Amino acid sequence: MRPSGRELNEMRSVSIETDVTKHAEGSCLIRVGDTHVLCTATIEDRVPPFIKGSGLGWVTAEYGMLPRSTTSRMRREATAGKQGGRTVEIQRLIGRSLRAGVDRVALGERQITVDCDVIQADGGTRCASITGGWVALRLAVKKLMKAGDVTTDPLVSPVAAVSCGMYAGQPILDLDYPEDSEAGVDGNFILRGDGRLIEVQMSAEGATFSRAEMDTLVGLAEKGVGELVALQEQVTA
Amino acid sequence: MRPSGRELNEMRSVSIETDVTKHAEGSCLIRVGDTHVLCTATIEDRVPPFIKGSGLGWVTAEYGMLPRSTTSRMRREATAGKQGGRTVEIQRLIGRSLRAGVDRVALGERQITVDCDVIQADGGTRCASITGGWVALRLAVKKLMKAGDVTTDPLVSPVAAVSCGMYAGQPILDLDYPEDSEAGVDGNFILRGDGRLIEVQMSAEGATFSRAEMDTLVGLAEKGVGELVALQEQVTA
Amino acid sequence: MRPSGRELNEMRSVSIETDVTKHAEGSCLIRVGDTHVLCTATIEDRVPPFIKGSGLGWVTAEYGMLPRSTTSRMRREATAGKQGGRTVEIQRLIGRSLRAGVDRVALGERQITVDCDVIQADGGTRCASITGGWVALRLAVKKLMKAGDVTTDPLVSPVAAVSCGMYAGQPILDLDYPEDSEAGVDGNFILRGDGRLIEVQMSAEGATFSRAEMDTLVGLAEKGVGELVALQEQVTA
Amino acid sequence: MRPSGRELNEMRSVSIETDVTKHAEGSCLIRVGDTHVLCTATIEDRVPPFIKGSGLGWVTAEYGMLPRSTTSRMRREATAGKQGGRTVEIQRLIGRSLRAGVDRVALGERQITVDCDVIQADGGTRCASITGGWVALRLAVKKLMKAGDVTTDPLVSPVAAVSCGMYAGQPILDLDYPEDSEAGVDGNFILRGDGRLIEVQMSAEGATFSRAEMDTLVGLAEKGVGELVALQEQVTA
Amino acid sequence: MRPSGRELNEMRSVSIETDVTKHAEGSCLIRVGDTHVLCTATIEDRVPPFIKGSGLGWVTAEYGMLPRSTTSRMRREATAGKQGGRTVEIQRLIGRSLRAGVDRVALGERQITVDCDVIQADGGTRCASITGGWVALRLAVKKLMKAGDVTTDPLVSPVAAVSCGMYAGQPILDLDYPEDSEAGVDGNFILRGDGRLIEVQMSAEGATFSRAEMDTLVGLAEKGVGELVALQEQVTA
Amino acid sequence: MRPSGRELNEMRSVSIETDVTKHAEGSCLIRVGDTHVLCTATIEDRVPPFIKGSGLGWVTAEYGMLPRSTTSRMRREATAGKQGGRTVEIQRLIGRSLRAGVDRVALGERQITVDCDVIQADGGTRCASITGGWVALRLAVKKLMKAGDVTTDPLVSPVAAVSCGMYAGQPILDLDYPEDSEAGVDGNFILRGDGRLIEVQMSAEGATFSRAEMDTLVGLAEKGVGELVALQEQVTA
């Protein structure tokens, strides 16, 4: 029934290649089907003004799409002179989600910036960014710990994300672009490896959903995130 | 237990004063406790380029806060030279939510812009904007129907919104500012009068939540929206 | 002869409601006919860089119009990405005018920002902003004095403003929008309660005026400001 | 008594050199003492959208200061990314003033843009821009008439401007920079050659003025503008 | 003598992987040592306004660096709100260079946009962008020809680029970042496969060069470009 | 053969008028044929952050064109809200070129900003800006030395610039606008008075050039710069 022939509760094939750039403290290229996102983590000794002197660390994120990561070319945001509303929403979500897995006291007064740049898009770029962003963050923190700059592991529980939605009346896991553009209801679910929920964003454009459908989608998300967390742990072991 | 002395499942007192400005096709001043939002609806005969010639209508929203609607003065966004990320997120949410109650074929090729301007803020401004915005929209559509410009009522089911969250370990309904700034988990629930969900945004800053907590919060939201819809119908009867 | 049936030298009915928002140090809603402006005054302990360390205070103003304060909806300036030329002119005028009634030594090294937001426009918004802005300023200064932060009253003489113009060949006081859009000559007169002039801006778009007409308009303005100052004193007594 | 040794009612020496650039349809370099402004007029066959098809013409103006036209270097507005509030105010004033001398029906559906660029500033740049701008406009219109594109002279009466103010308690004509920075009251007076007033902007920063002082300053302005108009007519004869 | 141990006239190892994204009409990932640039070519049926209706085609380019393509993280240009001066210079150079190899009549009235995004930087990103950009362009044009949309090959002669400079008093070919940051004289040479020069940019920051040195550097460039063109032809054969 | 009747190797008539504004530390008006550029040099005691405390000085440049310096009116960059790509390229080139003639240790920790504003354009504005900019710089440095603020002359060798290109198949010196708009190959050559090259920018839009042609153009540039340097020395003697 799905255009790709997948089962309702089947994710696309996922791979995470680590250490793909030589400059970043942590990096990976995550591929969720045809959605490819390059994630890098940068450690800096400064923190934003609002926590200066607090002893707490900070994790933030930025998100971008290469102009031809999409079917037809998008205008480059640097040329447009600003980040669009969708970009701003997504990068705030990524940062907030990653922070839910971080012990900011243990991190100490430093900032880690996770950049997620979409090389090729086929639906679910924000979820892939969170899942891959966590891997880059994990690798950067490893360096901090190896160097002795951080002694207690500040990463409490892995963070991963997946989308679920109602497609042709059926609940499905991990929407690709053709599914996403048809789905009336679309949700992003960010969870930790310990099963706790971090963020749920269910949204209907020109449609609505029932509580029962909501429950089913949460269940699918728990399955998908479980698989993603297993992969995250394997590649960062 | 709540700073205001309210019950866990008790909303603040809500009032909606209609027809508060002489220029707008529809308008109201909604007061949810000390949160006061002025909502106006403007009808225009043009639609955005992406639906020109489709025969479909469009409903969109913009959101703003007066500089001194808050405890300490905020910088005016017009002076800053752009709308902040939070503003953009909120006005996209308002527009998407209202559209879920609209039959865009019945509306015909015209645009209704709902402006929500916060006069005084005390938590829950986005939810008050949606609830009040629906009233302004309803009043504007009434004018269209009275004038015979629209013959089938394009408003399918009323739309209202309420926030719920975990405060001091308890699930509470309709957070005011002191509660909102302490709550680890905070959700916005947008529903229709017929009980269908339109949007769920649950978010934890520096915290997480369980499925059971999620379920409880949805239940509180259903109660709150029921009360709001009753008031909407009363003031627009 | 006037569309509203007013006498040539008759102002619209004016009311000033004080303490209309709970956060601001001073606030009022001024209604000059159908022109309604919300004015708030914010006290801050910092001053602009150019007077830091001088011991002098500063009073400044910002001005905005809600998008649907006008007959047809205006674009929101925050969306446009900048304040228009008219807005900038008006807010500079408001600030300059209010400062003419202030003893900046007595105020001490602090800043008071007066925000004037037009809720509904029907001509004369800048004059209503000055008159109402003075009331907000007066109320904020009262708090400073009551708290003992300021010992000598820094407000020297009340400041109020009114427009006058040539309409259908006749000099008239306090133009409403229908008059303003027809008047060839239009002036804004800002005076103090002691009768001293602060600012005169007479301007002709597509017309000119004689010295005799100028003199008559100044006379009308003196009458109008007298009435406004009496009301200011009454509501802040 | 004046720093320059001038009489109270004495203007600086004024010269207007015409046809100073080869590209513009009209141009002059006006020198009012040490204030030097290059004015050019550009004729274009298009008009702004709001008068398209009306048969009416338009005259508009832009104003700029070279970065080192002032005692200490100013930031270039193109680098700052926008025109400052002062610049916007001035160029709106120039355009409005020039239009008061133009018969827009006779001009026909075309636009003339007057650019006023300050090469060297020593007070009174906006007045010099108006006076010189009129000369550039006059020369451009002459070309239109010579070419037969316009048959009735659209320039009704010359437009010129001068500043007056209260300096050390005395009313003075044509303030230079040292006077301008000391004057408590400062006015710009734009008049036509036939003695009609176009715009009066009297403003007090940290001071006020009486009606009698106002009257005296208008009288000085009439004298000054008379001299400027004589020079305008001489150089464009 | 070179930090990398290369001969003075030896290029870094170069590879070009083609068809690396599924959406773009042409694409490659070029690696010049540790400098990695993703190049995509997008075909659109519209052309810029200045050639509309001329029958001529257009080739243009945009350039960007991922924030962590560099040793320390750079600010994202979309966040900064504009492209920096260096970016603008580079993308104008890429477009101009590629056009020198294109017969715009044969291309027909369509636009090809070449996006060059630096994934990892180690010196020479603009040269790698031109060399890789040509490959993306070549692949896109192949599709046009295969589809019969273009009948005469519009690509006249391949275009490639290399940098040369004076390092420690010696002329060297293809500077990597450590060499580039030490070199007093630095040149970018863009040539066609037929040996004709397209662009020469020799620049000295805090140094100068003689005519003899200039001649030597041009000779090195001819060698390097010869090798690059051979590789371009091999991967697009 | 040239439109102007000049010999292939003949420059336009050049004049440099010094001390043309009273505020700047150094200034000149350079006229290269009908290209007129006003150059001013401003000395400031602060330096950019990246050299603060280094003891080194800095020379930088800004460039602008008056809106009607060109045949048809250009949009004012301050109105457009940013400097265009061409402007940014040119001002970076001017700054870099001038610095090649400066001993930044001898200059001491201060900044000189050279502003080049084109009053009238007829081709070659960037070269005229460099040649005139050097004169303004020279005059400003003279003041520093006269005042004893600088003891060793920081100006090592004069800097001047000229354009050369291929026009109708012939190599020509100092292109004016009609030649520039026809020339397929166009180069800017910046040299020092001692014959050393600082910058070579040869560029072909829709054309290419051979090494032999390149060599000829360099020879012409050497001749032209020789003449310019002689004039620079004469007017600053």
DSSP line for C34-61: TEEEEEEEEEES---GGGTTS---EEEE
Shortest distance between the Cα of E90 and any Cα of chain A, in A, equals 14
Helix or strand holding residue B57 (H, E):
none
Bridge partners of residue B41, in order along the sequence: B26, B114
Is A26 known to sit in a ligand binding site? no
Q: For the residues B218-226, what does the mean pLDDT come to? A: 97
Question: What is the rounded average pLDDT for all residues in chain B?
Answer: 95
Residue B115 in this model has a pLDDT that exceeds 80: yes
Neighboring chain B residues of A211 at a CB cutoff of 8 Å = 197, 218
Q: Rounded to 5 degrees, what are φ and ψ at C150? A: -130, 135
- Among E88, E99, E196, select the one facing F210 at the smallest CB separation: E196
Residue C82 has pLDDT above 90, yes or no: no
CB A14 within 8 A of CB A231: yes
| pLDDT band for position B129 (cuts 50, 70, 90) | very high
- The pLDDT value recorded for residue E78 is 87
Using an 8 Å CB-CB cutoff, list chain C residues near B68: 21, 23-24, 27, 40, 42, 115
Tell me whether residues A73 and E113 touch, CB distance under 8 A: yes
With 0-12 / 13-18 / 19 or more C-beta atoms within 10 angstroms meaning exposed / middle / buried, residue E132 is buried
pLDDT digits (tens, 9 = 90+) for F7-36: 999 999 999 999 999 999 999 999 999 999
Is pLDDT at C23 greater than 90 in this prediction? yes
Window from A118-122, A233-237, B58-62, B86-90 with minimum mean pLDDT? B86-90
- F125 labelled ligand-binding: yes
| Nearest CB neighbour to C100, from listed D89, D200, D204 | D204
- E214 beta partners: none
Q: In the complex, which subunits touch E with 3 or more CB pairs below 8 angstroms?
A: A, F
Which chains share 3+ C-beta pairs under 8 angstroms with F?
D, E
How do the pLDDT tens digits run along chain E, 237 residues long? 899 999 999 999 999 999 999 999 999 999 999 999 999 999 999 999 999 999 999 999 999 999 999 999 999 998 887 888 889 899 999 999 999 999 999 999 999 999 999 999 999 999 999 999 999 999 999 999 999 999 999 999 999 999 999 999 999 999 999 999 989 899 999 999 999 999 999 998 778 999 999 999 999 999 999 999 999 999 999
pLDDT at B116: 98
pLDDT at B184 over 90: no
Decide if E208 and F196 are in contact by the 8 Å CB cutoff.
Answer: yes
pTM for this prediction: 0.88
Strands C111-120, C35-44: pairing kind: antiparallel
Is A126 annotated as ligand-binding?
A: yes
Question: In this predicted structure, what is the pLDDT of residue D84?
Answer: 84
What would the pLDDT profile of A139-171 be if each residue is shown by its tens digit? 999 999 999 999 999 999 999 999 999 999 999
- Percent of chain A topping pLDDT 90: 90
Looking at chain D, which residue has its C-alpha nearest residue C214?
D197
Q: What is the pLDDT of residue C184?
A: 85
Chains B and A touching, counted as 3 or more CB pairs less than 8 Å apart: yes
Radius of gyration of chain A (CA): 18
What is the pLDDT averaged over residues D94-102?
95
**pLDDT score at F147:** 96
Interface residues from chain A to E (CB-CB < 8 Å):
21-24, 27, 34, 38, 40, 42, 44, 62, 64, 66-73, 76-83, 87, 113, 115, 117, 119-121
What is chain E's length? 237
Average pLDDT in the B77-104 region?
91
Say how far apart CA D181 and CA B197 lie, in whole Å: 65
Mutate which of C60, C66, C68 to disrupt the B interface (most B C-beta within 10 Å)?
C68
Contact across the interface for B208 and A200, Cβ inside 8 Å? no
What is the C-alpha to C-alpha distance for residues A153 and D120, in angstroms, rounded to an integer?
A: 64
Q: Inter-chain contact E214–F202, Cβ cutoff 8 Å? A: no
Please give, rounded to a whole number of angstroms, the shortest distance from the CA of E83 to a CA of chain F. Answer: 9
Q: If you count DSSP H runs as helices and E runs as strands, how many of each does chain B have, helices first?
A: 6, 9
- Show the tokens assigned to E182: 């030490």
Query: Mean of the pLDDT values across residues F158-184?
Result: 95
Are F171 and F213 within 8 A, CB to CB?
yes
pLDDT band at D85 (very low <50, low <70, confident <90, very high): confident
Q: How far apart are CA F173 and CA F166, in angstroms?
A: 9
With a cut of 90, say whether residue F82 has pLDDT above it: no
Residue E74: count of CB within 10 angstroms of its CB: 16
User: Which of C89, C207, C211 comes nearest D218 by C-beta?
Assistant: C211
Q: Is A124 annotated as a binding residue?
A: yes
- Between CA F164 and CA F216 the distance in angstroms is 9
Is residue A122 within 8 A of residue A177, CB to CB? The reply is yes
User: Does residue C10 register a pLDDT over 90?
Assistant: yes
- The D-side interface with C (CB below 8 A) comprises 82, 85, 88-89, 92, 96, 99-100, 104, 187, 192, 196-211, 214, 218
pLDDT at B27: 98
Residue in chain F closest to E221 (alpha carbons) equals F211
Question: Which of E130, E199, E220 is most worth mutating to test chain F (most F CB atoms within 10 A of its CB)?
Answer: E199
The confidence score (pLDDT) of residue E80 equals 81
The first and second tokens of residue A48, run together, are 């934003």
Q: Tell me if D96 and C205 make a contact (CB, 8 A cut-off).
A: yes
Contact present, F and B (at least 3 Cβ pairs less than 8 Å) = no
> For residue E84, what pLDDT is reported?
85
Q: Which residues of B touch A96 (CB under 8 A)?
A: 203, 205
Which H helix or E strand runs over D169?
A: none
Strand-pair category, F35-44 with F111-120: antiparallel
Instruction: Quote the distance between the C-alpha of residue E197 and its chain's center.
Output: 14
Cβ atoms of A163 and A172 within 8 Å: the answer is: no
Q: Say which residue the tokens 């800048």 belong to.
A: C126
Taking alpha carbons only, the member of F231, F126, F131 closest to residue F191 is F131
H or E stretch covering C79: helix C77-80
**pLDDT reported for residue C81:** 78
Nearest of F130, F101, F138, F119 to residue F26 by alpha carbon: F138
Nearest to C142 by CA among C16, C14, C28: C28
Q: Tens digits of per-residue pLDDT, C177-206?
A: 999 998 989 999 999 999 999 999 999 877
Which of A204, A206, A218 has the CB atom closest to B199's CB atom? A204
Report the pLDDT averaged over residues B73-93: 89
- The Cα B224–Cα B172 span in angstroms is 11
For residue E207, the model assigns a pLDDT of 81
**Buried/exposed code over E202-221 (b: 16+ C-beta within 10 A; e: otherwise):** bbbeeebbeeebbebbbebb
Average pLDDT estimate for A19-28: 97
d(CA F41, CA A66) in angstroms, rounded, equals 42
Tokens of F115: 């502003």
What is the rounded radius of gyration, in angstroms, for the C-alpha atoms of chain C?
18
Q: Is B77 within 8 Å of C78 when comparing Cβ atoms? A: yes
Edge-to-edge strand order for the sheet containing E159-167?
A: E170-173, E159-167, E185-192, E197-204, F197-204, F185-192, F159-167, F170-173
Partner-chain contact D38 F115, CB within 8 Å: no
C-alpha–C-alpha distance, residues A125 and E130, integer Å: 29
Nearest Cα to Cα of residue B30 among B154, B121, B96? B121
Count of CB contacts below 8 A, D vs F?
Answer: 92
Chains E and A touch (3+ CB pairs under 8 A): yes
In residues, how long is chain B?
Answer: 237
Whole-number Å distance between alpha carbons of F133 and F112:
11
Q: What is the percent of chain B with per-residue pLDDT over 70, rounded to a whole number?
A: 100
DSSP letter string over A64-93?
EE-TTSSSSPPPPHHHHTS--HHHHHHHHH
CB contact under 8 A, B202 and A200: yes
pLDDT of residue C165: 96
Q: CA–CA separation, F172 vs F166, rounded Å?
A: 6
Contact E42 A73 (CB under 8 A): yes
* Residue A72 reports pLDDT greater than 80: yes
Say how far apart CA A185 and CA F44 lie, in whole Å: 61
How far is the alpha carbon of A69 from chain E, nearest alpha carbon, in Å?
Answer: 7
Of the candidates C162, C181, C161, C179, the residue with the CA atom closest to the CA atom of residue C170? C179
| Strand residue runs (E) in F85-235 | 111-120, 159-167, 170-173, 185-192, 197-204
Interface with D, mutate which of C189, C199, C205, C209 (most D CBs under 10 A): C199
Contacts of F73 in chain D (CB under 8 A): 42, 44, 113, 115
Answer whether E62 sits within 8 Å of A76, measured CB to CB.
yes
Instruction: Give 3-state DSSP helix, strand, coil % of chain D, rounded to 5.
Output: 30, 30, 35
The pLDDT score that the predictor gives to residue E42 is 98
User: Strand ranges (DSSP E) for D121-217?
Assistant: 159-167, 170-173, 185-192, 197-204
Q: Which of C207-211, E138-142, F123-127 has the lowest mean pLDDT?
A: C207-211
Residue A83's pLDDT band (boundaries 50, 70, 90)?
confident
- Looking at domain E14-236, its CATH architecture is 2-Layer Sandwich (3.30)
- One-letter amino acid at C220 equals L
E22, E76, E117 member nearest A62 (Cβ): E76
